């Protein structure tokens, strides 16, 4: 606060036997003012990375003796593969060149678990970088190198649960440090999935006016899985610990945003306090919370500014657009009379429910779901259409690493190991190198260059960042979306007709484009918007007046 000065002071711990131990604690000087912490927004495009699987920049840290998991096996989707922070740092030029402006690596803090430690969501020390990912200095270097490029680092944080091997589980400081703690302590000698009290995953209890107490408690207090103790944020010391930890990371890494895991599982009043404490300290910061729901009502509930009937104040700037993710996939997979495009038309119409649609994060897939190319049955044109549409929406788009080279999990859709496949070229000796293009197929190279063009156009497009949105009901298997600001109009046309054809433009005259010259951002071709437009085959056309 304003009253606290930077400096060092001693904390003295007195043990039961009367002995004392001193610890010198430092309150560091702030490196910049709170207002200078600018979070991600709709001008950004976010690159999501699973660090263990992107690039191994430092093979010397692959195995760290003394940790609980020391196996490295690239043929096992659930083992560690050796990717690390150095691997991301080494390839920032590639990410920047593609046109991304922000990077979200899944958690890289200590996960000293016996298995599955690669994914990072079972944190066993909230202040320590997992040495297999690198050091705190590496994490800081990643942040500062991103900043040099005008890019943002988003940290993936987990307030709901820790990993079972967290050091405090051996000597819990309170009787209520974790939820269902007595059950854990009673069964500690034979602890496994049978003895745990799991969350009932009834996430709607957060909003449901008719919810019973047992269901509400069952959602928030149950453990996510047996290996992830559920933190009790109603304990004020735990609450303060989590808030201070988040602020420590914001300051230490000069973050450009936080992604908060499993948002509907912790105590929701605490989540409001947590997000409120951060946004109060850093008014220009951004936090996105993960609520995996296809119901726009639930997504709307968590976004700050939404008028919730129960009076809940969220303080969360951004939520995740699972409803549009599903609508887009369904729209492209459907083969009905209107070719499914009405699904995205009506999906986007739900924006009236949101306090701020442009602050919602939208995506086609992520590290927890089947890759978009697999979800779209490996149809390259549909994948292009979905991506182009995504990047022009009034949203903050997030794209998963490897989408640009059509990475898929078609062999076993939804398999976590397969969704998080190694990025080719990230390991010494890889036969295919997606960074250099060596060994990529024609389709892969084409998708890389397509995404690069759309993302780089998006980077400076005020119409996409902040423009108003007008779309037209699907018509003869086509759908038109317009983004408009000042003299910049971006036109996105989705055409699902396989046969060549033309379409009368009279219907779109309210946009005022008649007689104007527009440029195709992919091919650079110019066309005059008049009378009609012709299509050669199924695909996406993105035009701009700029
Ligand atoms: Ca490594």
Q: HEC string of 320-377?
A: ECHHHHHHHHHHHHCCCCCCCHHHHHHHHHHHHHCCCHHHCEEECCCCCCCCHHHHCC
- Buried (b) or exposed (e) across 492-502, using 16+ Cβ within 10 A? bbbbbeeeebe
Q: Residue 132 Cα, ligand 1 centroid: separation in angstroms?
A: 6
Q: How far is the CA of 210 from the centre of ligand 1 (A)?
A: 50
The structure tokens 């709607």 sit at: 204
Residue 220, H or E segment = helix 213-221
What residues contact 164, with CB distance under 8 A and at least 6 apart?
113, 122, 191, 226, 227, 228, 229
Among residues 213, 208, 202, 199, which one has the least CA distance to residue 160? 199
Q: What is the pTM of this model?
A: 0.97
pLDDT of residue 506 exceeding 60, the answer is yes
What integer pLDDT is reported at residue 1 of this predicted model?
52
pLDDT tens-digit readout, 374-390:
999 999 999 999 999 99
Instruction: Name the residue with tokens 């409001």.
Output: 272
- Distance from the alpha carbon of residue 84 to the mean position of ligand 1, in angstroms: 5
Average pLDDT over residues 525-545: 96
pLDDT of 223 over the 90 cut? yes
Give the Å distance between the CA of 232 and the centre of ligand 1.
34
Residue 28 pLDDT class (50, 70, 90 cuts): confident
User: What is the CA(246)–ligand 1 centre distance, in A?
Assistant: 26
Q: How far is ligand 1, taken at its centre, from the CA of residue 490, in Å?
A: 43
Please tell me the distance between residue 164's alpha carbon and the centre of ligand 1 in angstroms. Answer: 24
Mean pLDDT of 327-356: 93
CA distance to 150, 318, 397, 417, per residue, from 302 (Å): 29, 8, 18, 30
Look up 29 and say whether it is catalytic.
Answer: no
Is 28 exposed, middle or buried (CB count within 10 Å of its CB: 0-12, 13-18, 19+)? exposed
The partner residues of 541 in beta bridges, in order of sequence, read 493
- Rounded to the nearest angstrom, the distance between the alpha carbon of 427 and the centre of ligand 1 is 9
Q: How far is the CA of 432 from the centre of ligand 1 (A)?
A: 19
Expressed in angstroms and rounded, the spacing between residue 34 Cα and the centre of ligand 1 is: 34
How far away, in angstroms, is 536 Cα from ligand 1 center? 47
Given pLDDT bands bounded at 50, 70 and 90, which one contains residue 440?
very high
| Catalytic, out of 251, 261, 304, 351 | 261
What is the DSSP pairing of strand 109-110 with strand 526-528? Answer: unpaired
Round the average pLDDT of the chain to a whole number and report it: 97
Ligand 1 center–CA 56 separation, angstroms: 5
Task: Check if the beta carbon of residue 122 is closer than 8 Å to that of residue 108.
Answer: no
Q: In three state form, how does the secondary structure of 26-51 look?
A: EECCCCCCHHHCCCCCCCCCEEEECH
As a whole number, mean pLDDT of residues 6-31 equals 93
For residue 3, pLDDT over 80 is answered with no
Mean pLDDT of 357-366: 98
Looking at residues 167-193, what average pLDDT do you find?
A: 96
Q: φ, ψ for residue 357 (rounded to 5)? A: -55, -40
pLDDT of residue 31: 84
Is 525 catalytic? The answer is no
- Among 52, 254, 290, 409, the one annotated catalytic: 290
In this prediction, residue 2 carries a pLDDT of 67
DSSP class of residue 178 equals B
Q: Report the SS3 class of residue 287.
A: strand
Mode of pairing for the β-strands spanning 7-14 and 539-544: unpaired
Question: 10 Å Cβ neighbour count for 506?
Answer: 9
């Amino acid at each position: 606060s304003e009253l606290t000065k930077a400096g060092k002071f001693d904390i003295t711990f007195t043990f039961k036997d009367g002995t004392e131990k001193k610890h010198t604690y430092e309150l560091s000087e702030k490196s910049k003012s709170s207002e200078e912490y600018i979070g991600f927004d709709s001008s950004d495009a976010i690159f999501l990375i699973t660090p263990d699987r992107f690039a191994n920049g430092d093979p010397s840290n692959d195995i760290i003796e003394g940790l609980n998991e020391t196996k490295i096996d690239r043929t096992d989707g659930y083992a560690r593969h050796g990717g690390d922070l150095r691997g991301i740092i080494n390839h920032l030029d590639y990410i920047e060149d593609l046109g991304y402006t922000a990077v979200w690596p899944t958690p890289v803090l200590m996960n000293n678990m016996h298995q599955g430690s690669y994914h990072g969501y079972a944190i066993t020390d909230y202040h320590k970088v997992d040495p297999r990912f690198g050091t705190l200095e590496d994490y800081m270097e990643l942040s500062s190198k991103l900043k040099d490029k005008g890019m943002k680092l988003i940290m993936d944080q987990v307030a709901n649960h820790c990993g079972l091997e967290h050091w405090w589980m051996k000597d819990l400081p309170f009787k209520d440090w974790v939820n269902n703690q007595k059950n854990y302590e009673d069964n500690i000698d034979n602890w496994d999935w049978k003895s745990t009290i799991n969350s009932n995953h009834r996430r709607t209890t957060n909003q449901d006016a008719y919810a019973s107490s047992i269901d509400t408690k069952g959602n928030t207090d149950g453990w996510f899985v047996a290996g992830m103790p559920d933190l009790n944020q109603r304990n004020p010391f735990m609450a303060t610990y989590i808030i201070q930890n988040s602020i420590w990371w914001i300051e230490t890494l000069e973050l450009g945003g936080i992604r908060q895991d499993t948002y509907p599982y912790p105590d929701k009043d605490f989540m409001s306090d947590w997000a409120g404490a951060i946004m109060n300290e850093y008014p220009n910061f951004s936090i996105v919370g993960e609520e995996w729901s296809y119901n726009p009502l639930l997504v709307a509930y968590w976004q700050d500014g939404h008028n919730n009937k129960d009076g809940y104040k969220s303080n969360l700037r951004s939520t995740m657009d699972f409803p549009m993710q599903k609508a887009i996939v369904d729209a492209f997979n459907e083969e009905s009379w209107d070719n499914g495009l009405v699904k995205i038309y009506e999906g986007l119409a739900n924006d009236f429910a949101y306090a701020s649609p442009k602050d919602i994060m939208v995506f086609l897939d992520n590290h927890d779901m089947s890759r978009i190319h697999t979800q779209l049955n490996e149809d390259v044109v549909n994948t292009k259409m979905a991506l182009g549409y995504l990047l022009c929406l009034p949203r903050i788009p997030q794209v998963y690493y490897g989408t640009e080279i059509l990475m898929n999990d078609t062999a076993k859709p939804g398999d976590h190991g397969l969704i998080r496949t190694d990025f080719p070229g990230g390991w010494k000796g890889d036969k295919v190198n997606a960074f250099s293009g060596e060994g990529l197929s024609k389709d892969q190279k084409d998708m890389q260059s397509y995404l690069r063009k759309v993302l780089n156009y998006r980077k400076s497009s005020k119409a996409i960042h902040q423009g108003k949105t007008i779309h037209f009901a699907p018509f003869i298997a086509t759908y038109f979306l317009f983004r408009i600001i000042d003299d910049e109009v971006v036109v996105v046309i989705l055409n699902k007709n396989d046969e060549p054809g033309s379409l009368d433009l009279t219907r779109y005259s309210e946009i005022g484009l008649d007689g104007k010259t527009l440029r195709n951002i992919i091919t650079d071709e110019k066309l005059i918007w008049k009378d009609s437009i012709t299509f050669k085959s199924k695909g996406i056309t993105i035009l701009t007046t700029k």
